[in-house]
Structure 1
């Protein structure tokens, strides 16, 4: 149903029509780049979104978690806590992002033969991400000013994802109690990233090759579905799969995030795996903060519609105006 049918007074109809036409033309004339009005954080999930934070934008994502680990076959238990820090910076190009991921963990390991306290940098990863393709960079065209339904029907274009690539490397700090035996100092990592927007839902898929060209090579995926429930609240569900000769697993996560300000977000999450070699149970909270004072908006203008005439030789612009007048008269 068109919005024009819900107004009882002609003056309200004209007022609404003017506002709708203004915003419709505005959204099709200007198309912004990577930067969004509110912070776009990878937390609280473990997947990486396809878009960068924006050129000259700095973003920090900090989290604290508790973890319980139990291995049925090796007969040990480990209980501990940790912190995660991701630093992201957009530089050189709007689509380019450099990032550093750090994870520190301390736990108490207990078994029949060994009891010890372990602590250290469990993960240190540096990398770069680049968005190769954004299907929304070019608008589909002008909206239908007569029908709300026509402008909000399902678009098959939403099935085409944004596509990014990530390349990085793990740096194995010496005396790391959480690393594999004789793990190399540098282990390459690569990732294919896709991201779809389906209304209030965002689907992110990561296809990962980890510790490439080492004895501990693994491959896997992360699928994250996020939904916005209000301008401030959002929730997510996530599934991660890992396959390797030394470690394989399947992990499920869920949680929510709350937007305090346009550049500050807090979150909470919980997760577990489905196996017992070892079994994992963990939960945490986090904070994301963005500094964007140096950012300058990048606007891409779409070509203006060329004026033309219909088959009767009348201007199309005049024909559109006449149609709007007819709608007013019908009211």
Structure 2
């Protein structure tokens, strides 16, 4: 049966509307930074968090006003929450895998000569901690530096599970909850590549102000953000598709944001590095997640699991 032209037009509407809304709202929310003090604005954190909810707003607009499916929560990846065992397993992966990837980036960057590390003495972490304590009048470390490093890891877990989760969900409902399944018609590689470009360029309102890659030309910073979003988006997408839920991807996104700064534990004293080359934001940090994504795709696991 031939589909009428008007109906075919409607089927093509959701994605462009979603992208226009997500991008347009992101620039609108970030506009005060561009009109004011940029990243040094006292409103930066509030603006950045608010911007993270724009993909969900865009997805909600499409689902409720354009697609109007019978099961709207399912269309957004919020349900089902079963089988419970599978969901819990993927939530555990969502929490741990990004942290491990952030940590794996550090020795690779060190071997490549782009991340000056002190993995045994933690001299840089001790230096940073002492400077912070000196600002509040404390002259000596209250605990051994190894204990403070362990507490830093605990803080990462708390941030991943509590502080960062809601804003991360604000992005993931849009990117992986709604968008990714609709890009799977292009195959795994196409879905990973297209979603990576879309997600990476969406960060432009902040990246062009110097966020993540300070001192880097805007075009190169955006290209780097696309690279990061492509490899990590592949990991998040695998969790979303295999679990059948957006929640593991949201937790993974939250864990990534929390663990991205773990480099401070292992950096050498008086050292600096270029985030374009080192840590999870740089090319040396993309090697391990890229290998994970390649293995997942080639093994046929970058696909929705058959329902039980």
Higher Cα Rg: structure 1 or 2?
A: 1
Identify the structure with the greater helix proportion: 2
TM-score by structure 2 length? 0.27
TM-score by structure 1 length? 0.25
Identify the structure with the greater strand proportion: 1
Could you say which structure has the greater relative contact order, defined with CA pairs below 8 angstroms and 6 or more residues apart?
Answer: 2
